């Protein structure tokens, strides 16, 4: 892989410093870095495509971006699943204009080349007249992803034939992330919410670990009554309103130094948030965690995780509500957000209704929390473009050097108070990916240290 002068290994270690807890702002707006991310990260990592319940019947398809490649995941007649690029092998036009649906074949609207469900080229208009026997159709099928696997119904693919198997890639932390939803025996709620935010994709990723922002950023959500009444008031030391008054913030929300459970793992997956025991007054159903399947899949630590794990690079699991969000990079300062919402298969109509209501009101284009967050990500991205502003490093040093990493059963966890370990770990892993290491080197470079 070509490494540009700007991105040699030394430079990458300067861009993200585990020692200082600093991140160079240029990684959020530099066009060359963005291009390298498309190749070195999105061109290699396993990425979520869809849930099997979205494509139950032969001919069902769903389109998902992997970086800037558009991929069609298609249920085959024999029940298997295949995924291929939505780009015609003639002149590259999309062969499917629908985002999801059911079809018998894909026909390109440019010159009419047609492909079957497995991507085989089955029709070329007037092939004899135009090609005079000089077109071997068997050579021009749609291009498939290099590997495709389903983990508990969650379908992933990678463009890299050398990538390790999916379960290995996910590791215990990534598997727990999915199990936290899959163990409830779910199916998708039809309709994926998609919208854009003018931010770099990485801001939208790392914010899931940020339990420091909620008390201030989401004050409006608290004021609106979205959350239960607080059990007490805490002063957020130092926060002042425009009148210079100290702000009292309801402690019922989150992030007030509650016991924190951080998981970090190989390849850059991470999770952070209160453990189930630290949830306080949040109206979250945790009873399913005691079901045999959940106990078996999640294990002792996993059954306590209540935060938002991220499967590197860009799939984060909102475990409380049973949602998966993709942060899809479009350009350095534009990101598509995709929300997949799940519901238990045997949910009552009322429970379904409640799930849909929450999915629409919390995150997503009309979600009160995501509106709060999106503004911050957009502003933070914008400030990385200024000639002088971009020279000011970002700080992710909360708890730095005080996080004792406990490694047990393949899981690396840190328990303590709210920290920025998970964010910093994600950026450290990002830097390793951007070095273009081979898979063994990458695994080695992202083994969690003993202290963070």
Positive/negative CA dihedral, 81, 87, 89, 93: positive
- Rounded CA-CA distance 179/181 in Å is 5
Which residue, 121 or 261, is less far from ligand FES as judged by CB?
121
Which residue, 59 or 360, is less far from Fe ion as judged by CB?
360
Which tokens is 394 given?
């970002």
Closest CA to 89 of 123, 130, 42, 39: 123
Residue 108 binds: one of Fe ion, ligand FES, none (C-beta under 5 to 8 A by kind): ligand FES
Positive/negative CA dihedral, 111, 115, 120, 122: negative
Residue 111 binds: one of ligand FES, Fe ion, none (C-beta under 5 to 8 A by kind): ligand FES
Which residue, 308 or 425, is less far from Fe ion as judged by CB?
308
- Rounded CA-CA distance 180/127 in Å is 52
Which residue, 11 or 90, is less far from ligand FES as judged by CB?
90
Which residue, 113 or 209, is less far from ligand FES as judged by CB?
113
Which residue, 78 or 126, is less far from ligand FES as judged by CB?
126
Shortest distance (Å) from residue 118 CB to ligand FES: 18
Which residue, 22 or 63, is less far from ligand FES as judged by CB?
63
Residue 363 binds: one of ligand FES, Fe ion, none (C-beta under 5 to 8 A by kind): none
Helix (H) or strand (E) holding 358: helix 349-361
| Residue 196 to residues 201, 212, 275, 336, 367, Cα–Cα distance (Å) | 10, 24, 31, 4, 13
Q: How many residues bind Fe ion (CB under 5 A)?
A: 1
Residue 31, phi then psi, degrees to nearest 5: -65, -35
Fill in the per-residue mask, 330 to 369: x = in contact with Fe ion (CB under 5 A), - = not in contact.
----------------------------------------
Which residue, 123 or 278, is less far from ligand FES as judged by CB?
123
Which residue, 110 or 130, is less far from ligand FES as judged by CB?
110
Which residue, 359 or 434, is less far from Fe ion as judged by CB?
359
Which tokens is 221 given?
């959500």
Shortest distance (Å) from residue 402 CB to Fe ion: 24
Shortest distance (Å) from residue 61 CB to ligand FES: 17
Residue 373 binds: one of ligand FES, Fe ion, none (C-beta under 5 to 8 A by kind): Fe ion
Residue 386 binds: one of ligand FES, Fe ion, none (C-beta under 5 to 8 A by kind): none
Residues 6+ apart with CB under 8 A from 136: none
Closest CA to 192 of 53, 290, 378, 14: 53
Residues 6+ apart with CB under 8 A from 42: 66, 67, 68, 69, 313, 329
Which tokens is 400 given?
């730095």
- Degrees (nearest 5) of the Cα angle 258, 280, 211? 35
Helix (H) or strand (E) holding 295: helix 292-302
Residue 297, phi then psi, degrees to nearest 5: -75, -40
Helices (H), 148-200: 166-182
The binder of Fe ion chosen from 22, 37, 100, 373 (CB under 5 A): 373
Binding interface with ligand FES (CB under 6 A): 88, 90-91, 93, 108, 110-113
Query: Per CB under 5 A, does 420 bind Fe ion?
Result: no
User: Does the N-terminal peptide bond of residue 313 adopt cis geometry, omega within 30 degrees of 0?
Assistant: yes
Which residue, 125 or 401, is less far from ligand FES as judged by CB?
125
Residue 55 binds: one of Fe ion, ligand FES, none (C-beta under 5 to 8 A by kind): none
Positive/negative CA dihedral, 109, 47, 66, 40: negative
Residue 113 binds: one of Fe ion, ligand FES, none (C-beta under 5 to 8 A by kind): ligand FES
- Please list, residue by residue across 120-141, b when 16 or more beta carbons sit within 10 angstroms of its beta carbon and e when fewer do: ebbebeeeeeeeeeeeeeeebb
Shortest distance (Å) from residue 90 CB to ligand FES: 3
- DSSP annotation of 405: P
Residue 161, Cβ neighbours under 10 Å: how many? 8
Q: Using CB under 5 A as the criterion, which residues of the chain lie in contact with Fe ion when the complex forms?
A: 373
């Amino acid at each position: 892989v070509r490494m540009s002068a700007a991105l040699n290994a030394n430079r990458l270690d300067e861009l993200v410093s585990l020692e200082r807890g600093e991140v160079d702002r240029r990684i959020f707006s530099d066009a060359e870095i963005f291009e390298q991310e498309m190749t070195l990260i999105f061109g290699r990592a396993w990425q979520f495509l869809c849930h099997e319940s979205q494509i139950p019947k032969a001919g069902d398809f769903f389109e998902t971006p992997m970086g800037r490649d558009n991929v069609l995941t298609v249920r085959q007649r024999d029940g298997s699943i295949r995924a291929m690029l939505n780009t015609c092998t003639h002149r590259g036009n999309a062969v499917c204009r629908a985002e999801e649906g059911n079809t018998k074949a894909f026909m390109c609207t440019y010159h009419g080349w047609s492909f079957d469900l497995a991507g085989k080229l089955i029709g070329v208009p007037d092939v004899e007249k135009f090609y005079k026997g000089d077109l071997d159709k068997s050579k021009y099928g749609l291009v498939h992803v290099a590997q495709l696997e389903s983990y508990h119904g969650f379908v992933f693919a990678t463009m890299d034939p050398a990538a390790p198997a999916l379960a290995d890639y996910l590791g215990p932390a990534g598997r727990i992330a999915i199990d936290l939803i899959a163990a409830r025996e779910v199916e998708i709620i039809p309709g994926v919410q998609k919208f854009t935010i003018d931010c770099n994709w990485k801001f939208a990723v790392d914010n899931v670990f940020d339990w420091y922002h909620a008390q201030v950023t989401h004050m409006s959500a608290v004021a609106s009554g979205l959350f239960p009444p607080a059990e007490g008031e805490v002063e957020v030391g130092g926060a002042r309103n425009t009148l210079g008054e100290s702000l009292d913030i309801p402690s019922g929300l989150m992030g007030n130094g509650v016991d924190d459970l951080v998981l970090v793992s190989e390849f850059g997956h991470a999770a952070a948030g209160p453990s189930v025991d630290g949830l306080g007054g949040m109206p979250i159903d945790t009873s399913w965690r005691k079901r045999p399947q959940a106990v078996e899949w999640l294990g002792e630590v996993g059954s306590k995780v209540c935060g938002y794990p991220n499967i590197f690079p860009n799939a984060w699991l909102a475990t409380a509500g049973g949602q998966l969000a993709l942060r899809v990079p479009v350009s350095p300062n534009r990101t598509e957000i995709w929300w997949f919402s799940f519901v238990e298969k045997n949910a009552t109509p009322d429970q379904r209704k409640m799930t849909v209501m929450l999915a629409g009101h919390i995150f997503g284009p009309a979600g009160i929390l995501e509106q709060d967050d999106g503004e911050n990500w957009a502003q933070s991205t914008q400030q990385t473009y200024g000639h002088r502003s971009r020279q000011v490093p970002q700080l992710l040093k909360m708890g730095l050097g005080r996080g004792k990493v406990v490694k047990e059963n393949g899981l690396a966890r840190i328990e303590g108070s709210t920290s920025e370990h998970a964010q910093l770990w994600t950026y450290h892993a990002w830097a390793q990916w951007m070095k273009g290491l081979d898979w063994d080197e990458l695994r080695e470079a992202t083994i969690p240290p003993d202290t963070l």
